[in-house]
Amino acid sequence: MTQEKAIKSLNFEEALGELEGIVRNLETAQIPLDDSINAYERGISLKKHCETKLREAQAKIEKITIDKDGAVSTQPLDPKE
């Protein structure tokens, strides 16, 4: 399994937790340079994965509206409102 497939199989919470761990490790500078570079690259992939998961969740959110006749319907959430 490639690194990219492994990241794609993570849910948002797993990916975010791993990303936070990478950031902590990089901040302490207790790992060799090559490992730091690899961790940084994985961190970038994890960040992108988390952003994708958030966009997917946002696209699923709908708002409930009631028209002037009292009919209930849903519409995609407009983040500009």
CA separation for the pair 81, 28 (Å, rounded): 42
| Range from 12-16, 47-51, 77-81 carrying the lowest mean pLDDT | 77-81
Instruction: Collapse the DSSP code of 38 into the 3-class scheme (helix H, G, I; strand E, B; otherwise coil) and give the result.
Output: helix
Regarding predicted confidence, which is higher, 29 or 35?
35
pTM of the full predicted structure?
Answer: 0.69
Task: Give the burial class of 15: count Cβ atoms within 10 A of its Cβ; 0-12 exposed, 13-18 middle, 19 or more buried.
Answer: buried
Domains of the chain: 3-76 (1.10.287)
CA separation for the pair 48, 75 (Å, rounded): 27
